[in-house]
Protein backbone atom coordinates (compact mmCIF):
# COMPACT_ATOMS: atom_id res chain seq x y z
CA UNK A 1 0.00 0.00 0.00
CA UNK A 2 1.48 3.30 -1.02
CA UNK A 3 1.28 6.48 1.00
CA UNK A 4 -1.12 8.05 -1.49
CA UNK A 5 -3.54 5.12 -1.12
CA UNK A 6 -3.31 5.43 2.65
CA UNK A 7 -3.94 9.15 2.36
CA UNK A 8 -7.03 8.52 0.21
CA UNK A 9 -8.47 6.06 2.70
CA UNK A 10 -7.83 8.27 5.72
CA UNK A 11 -9.22 11.35 3.99
CA UNK A 12 -12.42 9.46 3.16
CA UNK A 13 -12.76 8.38 6.77
CA UNK A 14 -12.11 11.93 7.89
CA UNK A 15 -14.89 13.21 5.61
CA UNK A 16 -17.29 10.65 7.10
CA UNK A 17 -16.61 11.80 10.66
CA UNK A 18 -16.19 15.49 9.85
CA UNK A 19 -19.70 16.48 10.96
CA UNK A 20 -19.74 14.29 14.09
CA UNK A 21 -19.46 16.19 17.34
CA UNK A 22 -16.97 14.29 19.49
CA UNK A 23 -17.39 16.38 22.64
CA UNK A 24 -20.12 14.18 24.24
CA UNK A 25 -18.03 11.11 23.46
CA UNK A 26 -15.04 12.60 25.24
CA UNK A 27 -17.18 13.39 28.29
CA UNK A 28 -18.41 9.80 28.34
CA UNK A 29 -14.87 8.41 28.09
CA UNK A 30 -13.63 10.75 30.83
CA UNK A 31 -16.55 9.72 33.06
CA UNK A 32 -15.83 6.02 32.48
CA UNK A 33 -12.15 6.57 33.27
CA UNK A 34 -12.91 8.41 36.51
CA UNK A 35 -15.43 5.73 37.50
CA UNK A 36 -12.81 3.01 36.91
CA UNK A 37 -10.25 4.87 39.01
CA UNK A 38 -12.78 5.31 41.84
CA UNK A 39 -13.71 1.62 41.65
CA UNK A 40 -10.03 0.60 41.81
CA UNK A 41 -9.35 2.86 44.79
CA UNK A 42 -12.45 1.57 46.58
CA UNK A 43 -11.49 -2.04 45.92
CA UNK A 44 -7.93 -1.51 47.12
CA UNK A 45 -9.23 0.25 50.23
CA UNK A 46 -11.61 -2.59 51.06
CA UNK A 47 -8.86 -5.15 50.46
CA UNK A 48 -6.51 -3.18 52.72
CA UNK A 49 -9.12 -2.96 55.46
CA UNK A 50 -9.63 -6.73 55.44
CA UNK A 51 -5.87 -7.27 55.58
CA UNK A 52 -5.69 -4.81 58.48
CA UNK A 53 -8.51 -6.54 60.37
CA UNK A 54 -6.60 -9.81 60.09
CA UNK A 55 -3.28 -8.20 61.15
CA UNK A 56 -4.39 -6.18 64.20
CA UNK A 57 -4.97 -9.16 66.56
CA UNK A 58 -1.49 -10.49 65.75
CA UNK A 59 0.32 -7.18 66.47
CA UNK A 60 2.56 -6.65 69.45
CA UNK A 61 1.80 -3.75 71.77
CA UNK A 62 4.54 -1.61 70.20
CA UNK A 63 3.25 -2.26 66.67
CA UNK A 64 -0.30 -1.46 67.76
CA UNK A 65 0.78 1.86 69.36
CA UNK A 66 2.71 2.80 66.21
CA UNK A 67 -0.37 1.91 64.15
CA UNK A 68 -2.58 4.14 66.34
CA UNK A 69 -0.08 7.02 66.09
CA UNK A 70 -0.04 6.65 62.30
CA UNK A 71 -3.83 6.56 62.19
CA UNK A 72 -4.04 9.66 64.41
CA UNK A 73 -1.54 11.52 62.20
CA UNK A 74 -3.50 10.57 59.08
CA UNK A 75 -6.78 11.80 60.61
CA UNK A 76 -5.07 15.01 61.74
CA UNK A 77 -3.66 15.71 58.28
CA UNK A 78 -7.04 14.89 56.72
CA UNK A 79 -8.76 17.29 59.12
CA UNK A 80 -6.28 20.07 58.27
CA UNK A 81 -6.55 19.74 54.51
CA UNK A 82 -10.27 18.95 54.25
CA UNK A 83 -11.69 22.43 54.89
3 lies in a domain? no
The parent domain of residue 20 ranges over 10-81
Cα-flanking dihedrals φ and ψ of residue 19, to 5°? -90, 0
3: pLDDT strictly greater than 80: no
Q: Comparing 24 with 69, which gets the higher pLDDT?
A: 69
Q: What percent of the chain has pLDDT over 90?
A: 34
pLDDT of the residue at 20: 65
- Helix/strand/coil for 4: helix
1: pLDDT strictly greater than 60: no
pLDDT of the residue at 22: 63
Domain count, the chain: 1
Predicted structure pTM score: 0.51
39 lies in a domain? yes
65 lies in a domain? yes
14 lies in a domain? yes
Q: Which residues contact 67 (CB under 8 A, 6 or more apart)?
A: 56, 59
Per-residue pLDDT tens digits for 26-45 = 788 888 999 999 999 999 99
Q: How far is CA 48 from CA 62, 68, 78, in A?
A: 21, 16, 19
63 lies in a domain? yes
Amino acid sequence: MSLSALHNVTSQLQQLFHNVNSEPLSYILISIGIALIIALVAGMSIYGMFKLIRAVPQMTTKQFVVFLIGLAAFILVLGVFLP
